[in-house]
């Protein structure tokens, strides 16, 4: 017989669920429909254009071409002509681009011409909203999985608190709109945690077959996680260590998990990376991001690795620095949720529920291995496609919140316990989300007034210029050399070569490969990625653009003195290095050079240098 008190409590819990659901969904829709400014993550644009290639039936190919991949594929193919029209993609794991491909196909965005932008109506590409809506869907699904998991481990109060903290976290909402695979990856990790809880419960009931079945499903989910982001292999390694120690007979589940990962992850990855020299080369390139003399970005823009070297003298010192950076930035990388650091204190608390205890140590093992992996590969950005710390936010927040409630329960507050707990929850929300909620009315006001056209992330991105003028001025046969190839590939639907820092590498190493493939360079596009987004002024531009720095600075000069119409590149008629065999910059982009026509895509902010006069094609 249900008492009136229990009936009242159930009604309150049901009301709390619906209020929380409506609040978070409304907040996500508000940001997606009103304040959304388009994508600003290069990896998100890159994955989106790969997904469009898949949706068109082109396979796992890309229009974003990195010089190092051209060089490596040329070596593997033994100087045979490359097919740059179907250039294999080897820099991203395949699962999430295939997920995006299904969404892009279903919404018709695989047909570029039918979904062109109208600059007079909107500055935000609708395709960006489709990609952001996909990641938002997975974010909401992750919240649902987090709620059900916390309910299984603790109770509905903890579950609702965790979902509220995550749903009102500015960083979590940024990931939801970013187009990055992190929300999808969070769903896979939470699904694996559900399987782990079921394994522990089955062990308590001595159901051996059920344990094996749940273990197999868990490792399949972790394999999909690794095929979504290759850095996630560190999470899987952490789970292998935990299951190998925790479950009896010891080592059996770890062996089975290793076999599943080898079949589903390692073998396909080896096949996928074969065109660019194998898995060992990609591993070296990844480590170079943290311990190379230059970052991985400079490596990707180089045609060879001859001039690149590792900082072997201070390898361990830098490794130690990256390791401490992972621990130091844990709070920020997990959404600045106040209860997440309390997880480390929860490790010292013995929970009575075996499933809670097992999940705690499994999460700690995966997180510890993930920190080691991110330290080794130099991952330090808060919002990044390789950031793994955010995947553990629901677990850290749940255990931290539960620990706070345990402390309150041990204070023997009596009838005032519920009131004190409610006050604690309100305090957590205010500390974690207060600044974001304070700014929300202003965002709502701005969103209502700008929702008609939208405000793009400029600088450096102005999608309408690429989707309109650049697409009309260029062709799909030849390459555009640019400092923003991910944007050109996604918004303009053109093949884009990431601009090397050296003219000699372009002319001596890459152009012969393009000529054998019957592929030419149709022009150079300079965007704010070179001249407006670099710290350090002119030295920063030179460091970023290398030999092409005069082109980047030319746009700045035109902005400062628009009446003079200066062509800064014409001054560079000789090479600074007399031993260089490369053509000087003026022979490429001056008024007498190969690419003599200067086309203003967005004033002097975005300039396209072409062989032919293509200004008429844009009318």
Q: Which residue, of 384, 413, 447, is where some domain finishes?
A: 447
Does residue 425 form part of some domain?
yes
What the block records as the tokens of 166 is: 């995550």
The C-alpha atoms of residue 250 and residue 338 are separated, in whole angstroms, by 37
Residues 267 and 394 in one domain: yes
Tens digit of pLDDT for each residue in 486-521?
A: 999 999 999 999 999 889 899 889 999 999 999 999
Does residue 519 form part of some domain?
yes
Does residue 28 form part of some domain?
no
Residues 396 and 247 in one domain: yes
pLDDT band at 324 (very low <50, low <70, confident <90, very high): confident
The C-alpha atoms of residue 265 and residue 227 are separated, in whole angstroms, by 6
Tens digit of pLDDT for each residue in 346-387?
A: 999 999 999 999 999 999 999 999 998 998 887 888 899 999
pLDDT of residue 312: 59
Residue 425 has pLDDT above 60, yes or no: yes
Residues 363 and 498 in one domain: no
Helix, strand, coil percentages (3-state) for the chain, rounded to 5, are: 65, 5, 30
Does residue 480 form part of some domain?
yes
Residues 330 and 478 in one domain: no
Residues 386 and 504 in one domain: no
Residues 437 and 468 in one domain: no
Residues 496 and 601 in one domain: yes
Q: Which residue has the tokens 């990707």?
A: 300
The C-alpha atoms of residue 240 and residue 245 are separated, in whole angstroms, by 9
Does residue 46 form part of some domain?
no
The C-alpha atoms of residue 386 and residue 266 are separated, in whole angstroms, by 18
Q: Which residue, of 447, 475, 504, is where some domain finishes?
A: 447
Residue 438 has pLDDT above 90, yes or no: no
231 in Cβ contact with 377 (< 8 Å)? yes
pLDDT of residue 590: 80
Average pLDDT over the chain reads 89
Residues 389 and 482 in one domain: no
Residues 216 and 327 in one domain: yes
Does residue 340 form part of some domain?
yes
pLDDT of residue 73: 93
Residues 492 and 571 in one domain: yes
pLDDT of residue 182: 97
Tell me the sheet residues that pair with 609. Answer: 524, 598
Does residue 105 form part of some domain?
no
Tens digit of pLDDT for each residue in 592-619?
A: 889 999 999 998 899 999 998 887 565 5
Residues 355 and 428 in one domain: yes
pLDDT of residue 361: 97
Residues 513 and 601 in one domain: yes
Tens digit of pLDDT for each residue in 310-323?
A: 665 666 777 777 77
Phi, psi at 483, each rounded to 5°: -90, 0
Tell me the sheet residues that pair with 526. Answer: 607
Number of domains in the chain: 2
Mean pLDDT of 160-189: 95
Q: Which residue, of 397, 417, 447, is where some domain finishes?
A: 447
The C-alpha atoms of residue 246 and residue 444 are separated, in whole angstroms, by 50
Does residue 540 form part of some domain?
yes
Residue 234 has pLDDT above 90, yes or no: yes
The C-alpha atoms of residue 184 and residue 170 are separated, in whole angstroms, by 18
The C-alpha atoms of residue 445 and residue 439 are separated, in whole angstroms, by 10
Residues above pLDDT 90, as percent of the chain:
62
pLDDT of residue 450: 60
Listed in sequence order, the residues at least 6 apart from 39 whose beta carbon sits closer than 8 Å to its beta carbon are 45, 48, 128, 131, 132, 178, 179, 457, 461
Domain residues for the domain of 519 are 463-618
Listed in sequence order, the residues at least 6 apart from 159 whose beta carbon sits closer than 8 Å to its beta carbon are 146, 147, 148, 149, 150, 151, 398
pLDDT of residue 448: 65
pTM for the model stands at: 0.94
pLDDT band at 223 (very low <50, low <70, confident <90, very high): very high
pLDDT band at 5 (very low <50, low <70, confident <90, very high): low
Listed in sequence order, the residues at least 6 apart from 279 whose beta carbon sits closer than 8 Å to its beta carbon are 269, 270, 273
What the block records as the tokens of 356 is: 């809670």
């Amino acid at each position: 017989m249900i008492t009136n008190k229990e009936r009242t409590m159930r009604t309150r819990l049901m009301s709390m669920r619906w209020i929380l659901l409506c609040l978070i969904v409304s907040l996500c829709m508000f940001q997606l429909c009103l304040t959304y400014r388009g994508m600003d993550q290069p990896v998100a644009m890159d994955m989106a254009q790969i997904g469009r290639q898949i949706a068109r039936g082109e396979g796992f190919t890309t229009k974003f071409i990195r010089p190092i991949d051209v060089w490596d594929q040329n070596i593997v193919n033994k100087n045979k002509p490359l097919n740059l029209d179907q250039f294999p993609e080897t820099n991203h794991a395949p699962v999430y681009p295939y997920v995006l491909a299904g969404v892009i196909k279903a919404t018709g965005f695989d047909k570029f011409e039918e979904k062109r932008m109208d600059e007079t109506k909107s500055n935000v590409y609708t395709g960006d909203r489709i990609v952001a809506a996909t990641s938002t869907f997975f974010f909401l699904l992750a919240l649902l999985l987090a709620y059900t998991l916390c309910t299984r481990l603790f109770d509905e109060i903890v579950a609702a608190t965790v979902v509220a903290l995550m749903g009102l976290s500015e960083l979590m909402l940024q990931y939801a709109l970013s187009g990055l695979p992190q929300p999808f990856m969070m769903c896979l990790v939470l699904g694996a945690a559900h399987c782990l809880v079921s394994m522990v419960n089955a062990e308590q009931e001595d159901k051996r077959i059920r344990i094996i079945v749940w273990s197999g499903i868990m490792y399949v989910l972790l394999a999909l996680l690794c095929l979504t982001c290759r850095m996630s292999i560190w999470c899987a390694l952490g789970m292998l260590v935990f299951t190998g120690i925790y479950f009896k007979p010891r080592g059996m589940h770890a062996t089975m998990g290793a076999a599943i990962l080898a079949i589903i992850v390692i073998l396909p990855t080896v096949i996928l990376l074969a065109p660019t020299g194998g898995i060992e080369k990609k591993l070296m390139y990844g480590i170079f991001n943290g311990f190379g003399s230059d970052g991985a970005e400079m490596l990707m823009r180089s045609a060879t690795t001859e001039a690149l070297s590792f900082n072997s003298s201070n390898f361990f010192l830098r490794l130690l620095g990256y390791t401490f950076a992972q621990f130091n930035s844990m709070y920020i990388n997990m959404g600045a949720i106040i209860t997440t650091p309390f997880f480390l204190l929860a490790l010292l608390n013995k929970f009575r529920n075996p499933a809670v205890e097992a999940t705690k140590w499994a999460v700690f093992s995966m997180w510890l291995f993930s920190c080691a992996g991110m330290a080794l590969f130099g991952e330090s950005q808060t919002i990044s496609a390789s950031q793994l710390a955010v995947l553990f936010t629901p677990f850290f927040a749940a255990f931290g919140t539960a620990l706070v409630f345990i402390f309150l329960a041990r204070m023997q507050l009596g009838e005032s316990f519920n009131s004190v707990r409610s006050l604690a929850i309100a305090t957590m929300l205010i500390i974690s989300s207060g600044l974001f909620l304070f700014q929300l009315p202003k965002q709502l006001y701005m969103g209502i007034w700008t929702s008609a056209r939208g405000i793009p992330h400029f600088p450096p991105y102005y999608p309408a210029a690429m989707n309109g003028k650049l697409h009309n001025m260029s062709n799909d046969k030849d390459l555009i050399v640019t400092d923003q190839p991910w944007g050109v590939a996604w918004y303009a639907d053109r093949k884009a070569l990431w601009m090397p820092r050296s003219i000699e590498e372009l002319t001596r190493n890459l152009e012969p490969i393009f000529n054998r493939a019957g592929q030419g360079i149709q022009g150079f596009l300079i965007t704010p990625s070179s001249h407006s987004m670099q710290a350090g002024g002119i030295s920063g531009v030179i460091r970023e653009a290398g030999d092409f720095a005069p082109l980047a600075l030319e746009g700045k000069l035109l902005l400062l003195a628009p009446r003079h119409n200066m062509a800064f590149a014409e001054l560079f008629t000789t090479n600074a290095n007399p031993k260089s065999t490369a053509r000087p910059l003026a022979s490429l982009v001056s008024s007498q050079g190969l690419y003599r026509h200067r086309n203003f895509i967005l004033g002097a902010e975005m300039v396209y240098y072409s062989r032919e006069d293509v200004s008429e094609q844009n009318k």
